[in-house]
Amino acid sequence: MKIIHTSDWHIGQIFNEYDRSEEHLAFFSELADIISAEKPDALLVSGDVFDSAMPSAQSQRLYTDAMLRLKNSCPDMTIVVSAGNHDSGSRLESVRNLWDRNGVKVVGCLSRNDGQVRYADHIFRINSSSDPEKPAGYVIALPHIYRQNYPACQEGDRQQSFYRILADAVSDENTGRLPVVMMAHLAVSGSDLSGHDTMAGGMDFVPAGIFPEACDYVALGHIHKAQTLHVGRKENENTDGRSSHGPVIRYSGSPIPLSFDENYTHSVSIVDIPESGTVTVREQEIPCSIPVITVPAKPVPFRDALSVLESFPADEKAYIRLNVLISDFLPQNASVQAVMAAEGKKCRYCSMKITRTGESGVKGTDSLTVDEMKSMDPVEVAGMYYRRRFGNEMDEDMEKMLVEAIGKVEEERREQ
């Protein structure tokens, strides 16, 4: 079975107040060309289709048009889309039946009927794109699920038991021992989080060993840097044909950089899974239509950084973050000066990366775990983000407004 694995599109992202539709359109054009050339049996989209649980009408049209274009690039290919933590699963599934008629399988939520999990709704047989009457393999598709929401299936870890039941259900049907892929949207221990803003939301990690050995490949979303966490091997198989070394576990990464710190190659993964033998993965780079650039390479005083922006080529598209070194605070009108320096150019000034003299970075930029986030006051977390974003403390009026807003939310919760 050949698949193209992608995730974390984040359609509708507003990047420092700039709309990114142009970049998403360029990505979908590139992906359509890749699909046309590769003729995969399946395209797997492992969550975070949208950047927001309530995407705009424009973002939804962009998504719909893109899916139709991708499907037309290889009409006999199956597309499987699962929801990520940024998506509204119920919104994605609202037109599930309509998409199903077009060969697009959508899994937005954990499927239940009268309180009972409908395992079959998460399992899809994938037919060959070159011979639609011939099965190529199976996909187990799971949306983002918080660990406490997994059903109490068996003794032991709920999540692992749930995965095992799904894998066993596929094995019962998969008498030909065809390739099996599991899709999930979560964070696995040992992942390279380079550039990922873990402070804004926290992460709950699971061990790589949680995935069933009966699977050949685990197509993950959530981490934006493409990486393989475990290289499965099938040279030494059990008598039932299953690998004794576990699946290949991989993040496809996001197709476009979603922050200034994601300064690495972005791609989609082309995966060949033979019925026996070794799974192979090829990264297909996605060209960055509008580069995300931090200038200069090392932090310098604000005036020097501003000069770099002023000399940036007028006809070159880019998102610009200034790398600024300060000993106390920025000039009061620093942002206005930066905006004026970029005026008339095709580049887009966005923000500043602040480093204080004698420090490696802004105070409070350490990553937070989920438990640390829960233990902290929301105003404290907001203050950390503000220092990271702007290089100084949140002003008193803004802090008062935030405290008032939090109080209103807590009051509404108590009344429910």
Q: Is pLDDT of 338 > 90?
A: yes
Q: Which residues face 93 on adjacent strands?
A: none
Q: Is pLDDT of 90 > 70?
A: yes
What are the structure tokens assigned to 158, written together? 């709920």
Instruction: Identify whether residues 276 and 357 lie together within a single domain.
Output: no
- In the three-class reduction of DSSP (H, G, I as helix; E, B as strand; rest coil), residue 358 is classed as coil
What letter would DSSP give residue 331?
Answer: -
pLDDT value at position 38? 98
Q: What is the pLDDT of residues 369-394, one digit of tens each?
A: 554 455 556 777 777 777 666 556 67
List the Cα angle 400/336/327 in 5-degree steps. Answer: 75
Q: From CA 170, how far away is CA 222, in angstroms rounded?
A: 25
Instruction: Identify whether residues 257 and 298 lie together within a single domain.
Output: no
pLDDT value at position 362? 40
Q: What is the pLDDT of residues 268-293, one digit of tens each?
A: 999 999 988 899 999 999 999 999 99
Q: What is the pLDDT of residues 46-73, one digit of tens each?
A: 999 999 999 999 999 999 999 999 999 9
Q: How many domains does the chain have?
A: 2
Query: Mean pLDDT lowest for which of 75-84, 88-97, 148-157, 207-216?
Result: 148-157
pLDDT value at position 147? 85
Contacts of 359 (CB under 8 A, 6+ apart): none
pLDDT value at position 246? 84
Instruction: Identify whether residues 65 and 147 lie together within a single domain.
Output: yes
Instruction: Identify whether residues 329 and 401 lie together within a single domain.
Output: yes
Q: What is the pLDDT of residues 116-154, one digit of tens each?
A: 889 999 999 999 999 999 999 999 999 999 988 898 876
Instruction: Identify whether residues 213 and 332 lie together within a single domain.
Output: no
Q: Give per-residue burial for 34-45: e unless 16+ CB within 10 Å, then b.
A: bbeebebbbbbb
Indicate the helix (H) or strand (E) that contains 69.
helix 57-73
Q: What is the pLDDT of residues 236-263, one digit of tens each?
A: 444 344 444 689 999 999 999 999 999 9
Choose from 36-40, 98-102, 203-207, 387-391 the range with maximum mean pLDDT: 36-40
Any idea what the CATH number is for the domain that residue 260 is in?
Answer: 3.60.21.10
Indicate the helix (H) or strand (E) that contains 93.
helix 89-93
Q: Is pLDDT of 363 > 80?
A: no
What are the structure tokens assigned to 6, written together? 């992608």
The beta-strand segments (E) located in 110-152 are 112-113, 116-117, 123-127, 135-141
Instruction: Identify whether residues 214 and 232 lie together within a single domain.
Output: yes
Q: From CA 276, how far away is CA 235, in angstroms rounded?
A: 8
Q: What is the pLDDT of residues 94-119, one digit of tens each?
A: 999 999 999 999 999 999 888 888 99
Mean of the per-residue pLDDT values of the chain = 88
Instruction: Identify whether residues 280 and 297 lie together within a single domain.
Output: no
Band (233; pLDDT cuts 50, 70, 90): low
Residue 304 domain boundaries: 292-415
Query: Which of residues 239, 267, 285 is at a domain's end?
Result: 285
